[in-house]
């Protein structure tokens, strides 16, 4: 088989598109019943939207959050594989459901487009990485993934090696009156990633300020390890 | 200590050989009793055959399956470390037992040789990877590892990032009347790898067709992510 | 934001220093109460010392062991993220507690300095890696991390791919009358790393001999896989 005979422009009906950070979006119009049974989905959809990345999670989930809110779809499962292509963090794998393949396709298309924006706050150096996300109003995806308070502003930060993440979390909590909704470490909540992760909810201005102060100290500590991070996306905060 | 004084041609009695994908095969003629106790093996062997790789699992297990069937040995444990040298999948670590070191040595020797064939269906691009395996008649190793129906044909496929694996599984199940015996995702059954994995049993022609159709759509989707995969072995399907 | 405006010389009070293997040491003088609650620490300290590396665990824990013994601090948590920057092993993430920030700062400072010595026994080839550690007298950190017998000599060895680690463990146990205190595999005790890990306690001369014989066969087997390891630190055994 000559794999180079396969075009990079995919014409399969399952294909929706790709985005930064090795992200791909796919749909299945009517999933096979034997597969649906094994997937144990929490709702009886057979049109599925599939979304996954090798690197990053919070930015993509913020994008999916907006996409689900804007379409007739529902988030069915969120998983965080241990990945980042050799680095210390996660990727993501999300399944959406909808009554029609048009709905899930539109949700996935929108999530891919927004990923190119919301996955912008990723900083990867020779020593470790930092990830940030912010949403002015959390929806069902951020609620399911990180316990975000629905409708409130949402902040996220992950730091690797893990000690940096803990100092970032401490700094953010002292910066503004936000509520810590998720706290994750290598042994608790993560897939054994080398990160401390904190997610919090609160009023918009305070939540953004908490993320920004966490980002500032996180960058200073990461850079103290001897190399400047690369920024694969475009920071938006 | 000068490590370069150590030859690459190992003369230890424990050494059996190596194979593709950073695979090594070893034996212990009579394992230390304190170690045997901690290993909690399901059968009282003290001659152990050890097999492990940094990358890939299904091809190597298909090789081990043939090797165990052909020798007086038994599979004692199968583990899937999260590995692939920075990529999104697994390696493998398998312990065989036998009444004599000659038996386990022969099984490991045969498994290494067959690995160079059966681990041929691995495709690794800049974005992700795909792995396939096929056996005309599953034996005890594939039964233990993936719930394969003993004596039936066996098919395996893993796709990373995970959404590709799910579409491959759906495509395979629709391609032929095969039975899905194992379904794995980052949070279920894998070691948090960034894969969806499907294994199935059935009649030979249908099972092979299912693997081939899964491979075709998997390659198309992986290549849509912007790079062509490298093929470290020699495809055999 | 111009990240290059941030200096590599960190002036934050949280920063203590860095060491080999992407190790960083930090302190928090008075951690935020909401964070402390989520951390579920086993003792009511609010001055925290944080220590973590991308690569390696036993060497750093041996360093922390000496540091905790020499200061008025206590080890609160030890976690082993799945890391090694794409290779088959772990990093580490440790939290110490103390009554004053001066105490934890001194413990972290000392641990960083000793890490540059005790993390010297790491061997990383194209195929896998080996890690060794030895302490003449185990303290609270090695006891908590690996079940080491307090006050006895302590030996540690990890081999990847996993089969090498098992042969190393078998060889060490046959080399001297040591007691196996911890046995870890990809599915048991590790964070799904591609290693077999053994830790043991005993009399000083025998324990060191066990480590040295494990190291010798481990190096021979790793080198048999076709490449010589790099040694990022300075071996001390």
ipTM given for this complex: 0.94
Residues 6+ apart with CB under 8 A from C18: A224, A225, A226, C24, C25, C112
What's the whole-number mean pLDDT along residues B193-215? Answer: 97
Question: Listing from the earlier edge strand, what are the strands of the sheet with B179-184?
Answer: B122-124, B129-135, B153-160, B196-202, B179-184
Portion 156-185 of A in contact with C at CB < 8 A: 160-164, 166-167, 169-170, 173-174, 179-180, 183, 185
Q: Are B161 and A22 in contact (CB under 8 A)?
A: yes
What's the whole-number mean pLDDT along residues B123-147? Answer: 96
Mutate to test the interface with A, among C1, C2, C3, C18 (most CBs of A within 10 A): C3
Which pLDDT value is given to residue B113? 94
What does each of the 237 residues of chain C score in pLDDT, given as a tens digit?
Answer: 788 999 999 999 999 999 999 999 999 999 999 999 999 998 889 899 999 999 999 999 999 999 999 999 999 999 999 999 999 999 999 999 999 999 999 999 999 999 999 999 999 999 999 999 999 999 999 999 999 999 999 999 999 999 999 999 999 999 999 999 999 999 999 999 999 999 999 999 999 999 999 999 999 999 999 999 999 989 999
Q: What is the CA radius of gyration of chain B?
A: 18
**Locate tokens 């398998």: which residue?**
B94
For A167, nearest residue in chain C (alpha carbons): C28
Average pLDDT, chain A: 94
Which pLDDT value is given to residue A212? 97
From A204, A166, A205, A171, select the one nearest A183 (Cα to Cα).
A166
Question: Cβ contact (<8 Å) for C10 and A223?
Answer: yes
Dist. CA C26–CA B21, nearest whole Å: 39
For B91, nearest residue in chain C (alpha carbons): C194
Does residue B46 register a pLDDT over 90?
no
**Locate tokens 């590396």: which residue?**
C53
Choose among C164, C180, C190: nearest Cβ to B35. Answer: C180
Number of H helices, E strands in chain A: 6, 10
Which pLDDT value is given to residue C1? 78
Query: Could you tell me the CA-to-CA distances from A67 to A95, A110, B71 in Å, in that order?
Result: 13, 6, 56
Mutate to test the interface with C, among B5, B11, B52, B97 (most CBs of C within 10 A): B52
For A83, nearest residue in chain C (alpha carbons): C86
The chains in contact with chain A, meaning 3 or more Cβ pairs closer than 8 Å, are B, C
Kindly tell me the sign of the dihedral angle through the C-alpha atoms of A82, A86, A88, A89: negative
Dist. CA A94–CA A49, nearest whole Å: 8
Tell me how far the alpha carbon of residue C127 is from its chain's centroid: 22
Choose among C35, C53, C191: nearest Cβ to A170. Answer: C35
Reported confidence tier of residue B43, pLDDT bands at 50, 70, 90: confident
Looking from the CA of A158 toward its CB, the CA atoms found within 13 Å total 31
Does residue B1 register a pLDDT over 90?
no
Chain A closest CA to C129's CA: distance in Å? 15
Predicted confidence (pLDDT) per residue in A139-197, tens digit = 999 999 999 999 999 999 999 999 999 999 999 999 999 999 999 999 999 999 999 99
Question: Cβ contact (<8 Å) for A81 and B87?
Answer: no
Exposure b/e, B66-99, CB count within 10 A at least 16 = b: bbbeebebbbbbbbbbbbbbbbbbbbbbbbbbbe
What's the whole-number mean pLDDT along residues A74-85? Answer: 94
Cα distance from N-terminal residue to C-terminal residue, chain A: 47
What's the whole-number mean pLDDT along residues B16-37? Answer: 93
Mutate to test the interface with A, among C79, C111, C188 (most CBs of A within 10 A): C79
> CB-based contact (8 Å) between C10 and chain B?
no
What's the whole-number mean pLDDT along residues A5-27? Answer: 94
To the nearest whole percent, how much of chain A has pLDDT over 70? 100
Reported confidence tier of residue A119, pLDDT bands at 50, 70, 90: very high
Chain A closest CA to B49's CA: distance in Å? 29
Q: A203: how many CB neighbours lie within 10 A of its CB?
A: 13
Portion 212-231 of B in contact with A at CB < 8 A: 217, 219-221, 223-226, 228-229, 231
Predicted confidence (pLDDT) per residue in C40-67, tens digit = 998 889 899 999 999 999 999 999 999 9
What's the whole-number mean pLDDT along residues A80-84? Answer: 94
**Locate tokens 């088959």: which residue?**
C88
Does residue A1 register a pLDDT over 90?
no
Does residue B171 register a pLDDT over 90?
yes
Dist. CA B124–CA B54, nearest whole Å: 14
Choose among C187, C194, C217: nearest Cβ to B12. Answer: C217
Does residue A82 register a pLDDT over 90?
yes
Question: Cβ contact (<8 Å) for A187 and C79?
Answer: yes
Q: Which residues in chain A are closer than 8 Å to B228, comparing Cβ atoms?
A: 3-4
What's the whole-number mean pLDDT along residues B187-206? Answer: 96
Mutate to test the interface with C, among B1, B2, B3 (most CBs of C within 10 A): B3
Choose among A127, A192, A217: nearest Cβ to C54. Answer: A127
What's the whole-number mean pLDDT along residues B196-219? Answer: 97
Choose among A160, A180, A195: nearest Cβ to C38. Answer: A180
Choose among B161, B174, B186: nearest Cβ to A24. Answer: B161
Question: Cβ contact (<8 Å) for A81 and B179?
Answer: no
Which pLDDT value is given to residue A44? 84
Q: Which residues in chain A are closer than 8 Å to B226, comparing Cβ atoms?
A: 8, 18
Which pLDDT value is given to residue C44? 84
Number of H helices, E strands in chain C: 6, 10
What's the whole-number mean pLDDT along residues B50-64? Answer: 95
Q: What is the CA radius of gyration of chain A?
A: 18
Reported confidence tier of residue B44, pLDDT bands at 50, 70, 90: confident
**A to C CB pairs, distance under 8 Å:** 135
Question: Cβ contact (<8 Å) for C173 and B39?
Answer: no
For B229, nearest residue in chain A (alpha carbons): A3
């Amino acid at each position: 088989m000559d794999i180079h005979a396969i075009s990079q422009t995919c014409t399969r009906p399952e294909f929706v598109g790709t985005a930064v950070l090795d992200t791909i979006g796919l749909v299945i119009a009517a999933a096979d019943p034997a597969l649906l049974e094994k997937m144990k989905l929490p709702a009886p959809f057979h049109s599925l939207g599939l979304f996954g990345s090798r690197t990053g999670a919070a930015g993509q989930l913020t994008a999916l959050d907006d996409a689900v809110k804007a379409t007739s779809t529902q988030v069915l499962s969120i998983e965080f594989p241990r990945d980042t292509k050799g680095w210390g963090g996660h990727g993501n794998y999300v399944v959406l459901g909808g009554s029609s393949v048009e709905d899930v396709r539109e949700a996935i298309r929108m999530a891919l487009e927004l990923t190119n924006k919301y996955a912008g706050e990723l900083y990867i150096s020779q020593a470790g990485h930092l990830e940030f996300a912010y949403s002015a109003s959390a929806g069902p995806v951020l609620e399911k993934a990180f316990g975000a308070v629905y409708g409130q502003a949402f902040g996220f930060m992950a730091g690797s090696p893990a000690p940096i993440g803990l100092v970032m979390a401490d700094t953010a909590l002292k910066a503004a009156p936000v509520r810590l909704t998720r706290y994750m470490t290598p042994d608790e909540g993560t897939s054994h990633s080398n990160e401390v992760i904190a997610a919090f909810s609160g009023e918009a201005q305070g939540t953004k300020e908490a993320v920004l102060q966490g980002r500032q100290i996180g960058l200073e500590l990461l850079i103290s390890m001897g190399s400047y991070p690369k920024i694969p996306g475009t920071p938006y905060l």
